């Protein structure tokens, strides 16, 4: 049996030029955000426990807890709102098609009976408010002509709804049943976020014109604005009130977060500026914020989540992050004596994870090229991307040294290092196999077939190349040349991955036809067959350090672990390991499997006998 022991969750997906809206539940100290088709709920005090809801059929945009904390309403780009139970089975309470385009913001009424959703209505209604259990409309929302970026529900009676959007307007509706009351055109650019204070007396709207305007909560009249002195120098993307309704937190494209004090007359003054601890690049633009109890949470464009303490804003914030795009490769290596898991996604981000601690930092690379596959040994990382180069990067802690490229002529399909001689690397492209010693291309061998996967034995004496026809070609490495020794023909689909066992006595190969086979190195006979339990192509394969277990991960989202000495039918299956498919697998020790996939998360599973 395998049980999930840790989840290194993904970061919220961000988009340049737009803010994102994260929300939370003060009672359980959790935050909720979306990435791809998943809705992620994380507890701020236990970042290793993240629960992920993956039932949306389209990309999810925003999610909110209900006021009583029992339900979550989440929305996606097709205009559907799903209301599901937060605990247990995530039972679906209701699903409504609310708008005809993407939904940008969603809020519950304070009694938990009504929900207002706003977004892009494609010419028809841009905002809809409905009862949570029946879906019946509770108002007419006209007054907007462009996408409505944010909406808010007044938290105290009499109920009011306020919406703001790309037409620079802030509209105020009274009800229920909600009707248009008045419109404010104070802003000169997109109004990104509008929020009521928790006591319901005021609401604030922030915009890309760098201004923040405060209005009266009951009438909708403007009462003041955030002072321009020491104000933001870039678009303000999100705003969040403190629980006592006296302060707000704003985040902006100028890479700072500011805490403002809202005075009685309705004007705001900067109380403190929080500079982000990053290096100041594009990725540090702040796009989302949340003020929850004592925590100030800010989210940057690069997916970094910083948590400051509101009572001690000078303390360095706790930062963590994750991948934002699907993870393509995973490796476990020792770094300065500590076991570290490295994962890379195709946009070139490599993140270090440390078991039981979680996020261990992002590897800062000097050139951010995209990565297709990588191999890691202690102190060095070799990556191959979508250009024709293979980069060798020396590692010191989480800094990368200068990467040195080697041009290999065409796009590398697979890359492997001889573990005992890290200088020797084997790169396979579509029609050739290239041997590298250090940064020198020592030989290029033309193959007569299309190669799809390759591997090199730990001691560098043998190499295996798998072809599109399912045949495995075994070569012996003699100095700088390859000599073909044998061809094994058992697979019925193109080979996707081949790996030697750590003790070099066996190797395992897997193909696109869902089958994996374990072979003995010396006799080249099949050692374990009938590993056919996947229902879609096998993407990755990993051996346990003692060469006793082998794990396969597939596009069908399952990870199956076989024991080499037992028949294939006695296997451990992990169903639904990663929504969208498992792309990376490695063993961190004898009993822990680490998997990574399309949902941008890394999970550690413990095998319990």
Partner 1 sequence: MGVADHCKDTFLELQRKKTHRYVIFKIDEKRKEVVVDKTGGAAESYDDFMASLPENDCRYAIYDFDFVTDENCQKSKIFFIAWSPSVSRIRAKMLYATSKDRFRRELDGIHYEIQATDPTELDLEVLRDRAH
**1 binds partner 1, rule: CB under 8 A:** no
Sheet with 338-345: strands ordered across: 327-335, 338-345, 350-354, 358-362
**569 binds partner 1, rule: CB under 8 A:** yes
**87 binds partner 1, rule: CB under 8 A:** no
**575 binds partner 1, rule: CB under 8 A:** no
The answer to whether the CB of 571 falls within 8 A of the CB of 562 is yes
Nearer to partner 1 (CB atom), residue 350 or residue 488: 488
- Smallest separation (angstroms) from partner 1 to the CB of 295: 47
Nearer to partner 1 (CB atom), residue 265 or residue 565: 565
For 532, phi then psi, to 5°, come to: -115, 25
- Burial class of residue 92 (count of CB atoms within 10 Å of its CB; 0-12, 13-18, 19+): exposed
Instruction: Look at the alpha carbons of 375, 380, 381, 387 in this order and tell me if their dihedral is positive or negative.
Output: negative
**609 binds partner 1, rule: CB under 8 A:** no
- Smallest separation (angstroms) from partner 1 to the CB of 580: 23
For 268, phi then psi, to 5°, come to: -120, 145
Nearer to partner 1 (CB atom), residue 90 or residue 571: 571
**565 binds partner 1, rule: CB under 8 A:** no
The conformation of residue 591, written as its DSSP 8-state character, comes to T
Nearer to partner 1 (CB atom), residue 267 or residue 513: 513
Residues 370 and 346: their CA atoms lie apart, in Å, by 5
Instruction: With contacts defined by CB under 8 A, name the span among 184-192, 277-285, 500-508, 530-538 that binds partner 1.
Output: 530-538
Nearer to partner 1 (CB atom), residue 85 or residue 493: 493
Q: What is the greatest pairwise CA distance in the chain?
A: 86
User: Cα angle vertex 55, ends 301, 588, to 5°?
Assistant: 65
Nearer to partner 1 (CB atom), residue 433 or residue 564: 564
Tokens of 465: 């190349």
Q: Locate the DSSP E strands across 133-190.
A: 148-153, 160-165, 170-174, 179-184
Instruction: Look at the alpha carbons of 243, 246, 251, 256 in this order and tell me if their dihedral is positive or negative.
Output: negative
Tokens of 368: 């951010």
| Among 172, 500, 533, 605, interactor with partner 1 by CB under 8 A | 533
Nearer to partner 1 (CB atom), residue 334 or residue 532: 532
Q: What's the 3-state SS for 534-562?
A: CCCCEEEEEECCCCCEEEEEECCCCEEEE
**How far apart, in Å, are the Cα atoms of 344 and each of 322, 370, 372, 376, 486?**
10, 9, 8, 11, 34
- Smallest separation (angstroms) from partner 1 to the CB of 516: 12
**Subset of residues 442 to 481 that bind partner 1, contact rule: CB under 8 A:** none
Q: List the one residue out of 213, 250, 223 whose CA is nearest residue 235.
A: 250
| Among 189, 293, 402, 530, interactor with partner 1 by CB under 8 A | 530
Nearer to partner 1 (CB atom), residue 57 or residue 532: 532
SS3 601: coil
The conformation of residue 282, written as its DSSP 8-state character, comes to G
- Smallest separation (angstroms) from partner 1 to the CB of 573: 10
- Smallest separation (angstroms) from partner 1 to the CB of 506: 21
**532 binds partner 1, rule: CB under 8 A:** yes
Instruction: With contacts defined by CB under 8 A, name the span among 140-148, 451-459, 526-534, 600-608 that binds partner 1.
Output: 526-534
**492 binds partner 1, rule: CB under 8 A:** yes
Nearer to partner 1 (CB atom), residue 417 or residue 516: 516
Using CB under 8 A, count the residues that bind partner 1: 6
Instruction: With contacts defined by CB under 8 A, name the span among 35-43, 110-118, 437-445, 528-536 that binds partner 1.
Output: 528-536
Instruction: With contacts defined by CB under 8 A, name the span among 16-24, 66-74, 300-308, 527-535 that binds partner 1.
Output: 527-535
- List residues near partner 1 by CB under 8 A: 492, 530, 532-533, 568-569
């Amino acid at each position: 049996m395998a049980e999930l022991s840790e989840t290194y969750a993904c970061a919220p997906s961000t988009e340049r030029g737009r803010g994102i809206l994260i929300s939370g539940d003060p009672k359980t100290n959790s935050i909720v955000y979306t990435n791809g088709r998943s809705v992620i709920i994380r507890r701020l005090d236990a970042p290793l426990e993240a629960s992920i809801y993956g039932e949306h059929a389209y990309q999810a945009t925003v999610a909110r807890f209900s006021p009583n904390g029992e339900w979550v309403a989440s929305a996606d780009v097709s205009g559907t709102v799903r209301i599901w139970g937060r605990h247990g089975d995530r039972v679906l309470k209701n699903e409504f098609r609310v708008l005809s385009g993407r939904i940008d913001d969603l809020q519950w009424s304070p009694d938990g009976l009504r929900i207002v959703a706003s977004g892009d209505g494609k010419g028809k209604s841009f905002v809809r408010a409905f009862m949570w259990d029946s879906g019946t409309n509770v108002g007419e929302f006209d007054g907007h002509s462009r996408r409505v970026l944010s909406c808010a529900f007044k938290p105290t009676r009499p109920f009011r709804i306020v919406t703001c959007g790309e037409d620079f307007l802030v509209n105020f509706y009274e009800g229920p049943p909600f009707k248009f009351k008045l419109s404010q055109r104070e802003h000169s650019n997109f109004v990104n976020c509008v929020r009521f204070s928790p006591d319901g007396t005021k609401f604030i709207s922030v915009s890309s014109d760098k201004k923040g305007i405060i209005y009266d909560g009951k009438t909708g009249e403007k009462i003041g604005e955030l002072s321009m002195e020491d104000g933001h120098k870039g678009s303000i993307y999100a705003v969040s009130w403190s629980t006592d309704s006296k302060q707000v937190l704003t985040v902006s494209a100028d890479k700072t977060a500011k805490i403002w004090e809202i005075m009685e007359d309705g004007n705001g003054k900067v109380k403190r500026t929080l500079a982000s601890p990053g290096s100041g690049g594009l990725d540090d633009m702040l796009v989302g914020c949340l003020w929850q109890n004592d925590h100030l949470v800010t989210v940057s464009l690069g997916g970094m989540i910083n948590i400051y303490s509101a009572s001690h804003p000078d303390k360095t914030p706790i930062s963590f992050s994750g991948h934002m795009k699907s993870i393509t490769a995973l490796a476990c290596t020792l770094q300065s004596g500590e076991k570290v898991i490295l994962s890379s996604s195709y946009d070139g981000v490599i993140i270090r994870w440390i078991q039981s601690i979680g996020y261990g930092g992002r590897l800062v690379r000097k050139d951010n090229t995209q990565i297709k596959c990588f191999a890691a040994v202690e102190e060095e990382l070799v990556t191959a991307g979508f250009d024709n180069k293979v980069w060798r990067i020396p590692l010191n802690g989480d800094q990368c040294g200068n990467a040195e490229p080697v041009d290999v002529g065409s796009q590398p399909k697979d890359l492997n290092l001889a573990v005992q001689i890290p200088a020797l690397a084997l790169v396979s492209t579509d029609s050739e196999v290239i041997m590298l010693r250090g940064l020198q291309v020592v030989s290029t061998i033309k193959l007569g077939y299309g190669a799809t996967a390759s591997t090199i034995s730990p001691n560098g004496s043998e190499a295996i190349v798998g072809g599109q026809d399912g045949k495995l070609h075994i070569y012996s490495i003699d100095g700088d040349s390859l000599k073909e020794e044998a061809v094994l023909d058992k697979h019925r689909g193109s080979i996707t991955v081949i790996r030697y066992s750590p003790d070099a006595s066996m190797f395992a190969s897997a193909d696109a036809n869902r089958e994996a086979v374990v072979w003995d190195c010396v006799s080249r006979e099949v050692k374990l067959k009938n590993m056919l339990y996947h229902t879609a192509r096998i993407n990755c394969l990993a051996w346990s350090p003692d060469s006793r277990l082998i794990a396969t991960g597939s596009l069908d989202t399952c990870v199956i672990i076989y024991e080499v000495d037992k028949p294939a039918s006695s296997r451990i299956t992990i169903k639904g390991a990663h929504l969208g498919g498992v792309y990376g697998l490695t063993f961190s020790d004898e009993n822990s499997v680490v998997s990574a996939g399309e949902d941008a998360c890394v999970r550690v599973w413990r095998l319990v006998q």
